[in-house]
Amino acid sequence: MGRIDDLANRYVADWAPLSPTGATYVGIAGYDDQLDDLSPAGYEARAELTRRTLADLDVTEPDTETERTAKEAMQERLGLDLARYDAGEVTSEVNVIASGLHEIRMVFDLMPTEGEAAQANVAARLNRFATTLEGYKTTLREAAAAGRISSKVQLVEVAKQCDVWTDPNGDNFFHGLVERLGADGTLGADLRRGAAAATAATAEFGQFLRTELAPQGRDKQAAGRERYELASQYFLGAKVDLDETYAWGFAELARLEAEMRTLAGRIVGPGATIDEAVAALDADPARTIQGKEAFRDWMQALADKAISDLHGTHFDIPEQVRRIECCLAPTSDGAIYYTGPSEDFSRPGRMWWAVPQGITDFSTWREVTTVYHEGVPGHHLQVAQTAVRAELLNRWQRLLCWVSGHGEGWALYSERLMDDLGYLEDPGDKLGMLDGQAMRAARVIVDIGMHLELEIPKDNPFDFHPGERWTPELGWEFMRAHCRVPDENLRFELNRYLGWPGQAPSYKVGERIWLQAREEAKARKGADFDLKEFHRQALDLGSLGLDPLRKALARL
């Protein structure tokens, strides 16, 4: 490996002790008994490492074309990381899906738990939880004093999450974790003590958010153009024309819904509406699975079949990547997500479902495409294949680089690819794919519209409040009109958009850029273009911003 790779590998080695929580997420061993320092000093130490590394990158020349791509990717990511830190975004971010609290809560889902040493690490982290949250409070107080604070709505909603996580009749997360471990003796006592302390600290942190921070929180939830431009660039790894993208969102949603109406006619009969088709599919016993364990098993079987079918035909899937685990998450917020393998693949890539409490029946027509999105050829192929490519990619590229527009864009692209390959020939399964795509297109409109407080086009194809300006209330009305999910889930979605500006559009905009990159490759290669080879070359670049991706693909 060359000098850029050496620098990148050194960055990972220096980063892991500064982010032990992150080290567990990416599967670097040796830090599972510690948590990140979430105090101002901890955040500054991580930012200083980023500054030093960027300075070193500026004066280091790549030895190869591969290193050139690595340098561009690293400069783009670390540069935006630092820009967000310097703008006060990193130290003030609290929303319903992303915060320092969420990071240290979720890390327990990924920790090894087999054996006394692993369980001792769990106990150590539980017993450090309260101290870590005290440091985080200091960070949030300092950020608020400097004028950087989340909206009142987000702070109150996260306080409610703390209530659910700690409620004995709710998730009861920490005590439930320890109960599942089943340890006894001194270790068992240490675990129970840690669970009690972490539960109390989380409940108290919820009160801190509710009574101290929320009264200072912003009344307006819109980010404004300056903040939004930085957020959009961070999540996409590309600069896009936000006004053009907003207009494209309307056209894309209208296109998708026209296709959905055509499918509705095939499912129910000529002239049927989308809602009538959805009702028919939901009522179909052949598409219903009872019990969350049975549903998990169905997801596992479908994920395994996709790997078996696609390996050797449309993709060459490395042996380590041919294993994925479908898991039920220990929380109940309804999220479906993927977590990558550990560095040595002792922990496989996993697809998680946080089943809402009380849900016992599951419709498969919506979720066939979800399995392809989270599994193969989606996140699992992309993330796990990157982790395998030690001969091509440095450790930072394999473990630490993640760009939402690249990763989520690829996963949406993968859903469409599976349709192209004939895996969504069933009209119900295809409607499920299009329904998810339509929701992602609606996100583009609502996220950009609400945060930039744009005017709703007078000639919009849905005749939705023409000429008015977006508000959260209009965002709710629009999403309800175009998304077929329970109100509770949709409310979480809208809160997520309002608290995490720029992230929600990264799926559909990312897919758009992936499709554009494929068309550009076709134009360059002409008759020599090979789809399987395009996918291999693109994935072998690892995760990177979408602007660096296009540059790298143009050089291949």
CA-to-CA separations, 263 to 256, 364, 371, 462, 533, in angstroms, rounded? 11, 17, 21, 19, 32
Residues recorded for the chain? 556
Q: SS3 letters for 296-329?
A: HHHHHHHHHHHHHHHECCCECCCHHHHCEEEEEC
Question: Judging by beta carbons within 10 Å of its beta carbon (0-12, 13-18, 19+), is residue 204 exposed, middle or buried?
Answer: middle
| Amino acid in the structure at residue 354 | A
CA dist 223 to 70, 228, 275, 449, 464, Å?
A: 32, 6, 34, 11, 23
- Residue linked to tokens 């959905």: 260
Instruction: Please give the span between the terminal C-alpha atoms of the chain, in angstroms, as a whole number.
Output: 20
Q: What pLDDT is attached to residue 1? A: 58
- Which residue carries 């998810």 as its tokens? 436
For residue 61, the tally of other CB atoms under 10 A from its CB is 10
- H/E element holding 353? strand 349-353
Q: Are 107 and 25 in contact (CB under 8 A)?
A: yes
CA 417 – CA 430 distance, rounded (Å)? 12
What is the DSSP code (8-state) at residue 543?
S
Distance CA 266, CA 280 (A): 12
Cα separation, 74 vs 122, in Å, equals 32
318: left (phi over 0), alpha (psi -120 to 50) or beta: beta
Domain ranges in the chain are 3-221
**What's the pLDDT score for residue 485?**
87
Q: Are 43 and 90 in contact (CB under 8 A)?
A: yes
Q: What is the pLDDT of residue 488?
A: 86
**Neighbouring residues of 509: CB distance < 8 A, sequence distance ≥ 6:** 236, 240, 245, 405, 409, 444
Q: What is the pLDDT along the chain (556 residues), one digit of tens a residue?
A: 579 999 999 999 999 999 999 999 999 999 999 999 999 999 999 999 999 999 999 999 999 999 999 999 999 999 999 999 999 999 999 999 999 999 999 999 999 999 999 999 999 999 999 999 999 999 999 999 999 999 999 999 999 999 999 999 999 999 999 999 999 999 999 999 999 999 999 999 999 999 999 999 999 999 999 999 999 999 999 999 999 999 999 999 999 999 999 999 999 999 999 999 999 999 999 999 999 999 999 999 999 999 999 999 999 999 999 999 999 998 887 778 999 998 889 999 999 998 888 888 999 999 999 999 999 999 999 998 898 999 999 999 999 999 999 999 999 999 999 999 999 999 999 999 999 999 999 999 999 999 999 999 999 999 999 999 999 999 999 999 999 988 988 999 999 999 999 999 999 999 999 999 999 999 999 999 999 999 999 999 999 999 999 999 998 8
Report how far residue 21's alpha carbon sits from residue 16's, in angstroms, rounded to the nearest whole number. 8
Amino acid at 543: S
- The answer to whether the bond into 501 is cis (omega within 30° of 0) is no
The pair of three-digit structure tokens given for residue 556, joined into one six-digit string? 């291949």
Q: DSSP letters along 179-202, please?
A: HHH---HHHHHHHHHHHHHHHHHH
- The letter for the amino acid at 316 is D
Amino acid identity, residue 245?
T
d(CA 191, CA 139): 28
Residue entry with tokens 């297109």: 441
Cα atoms in the Cβ-side hemisphere of radius 13 Å centred on 507: 22
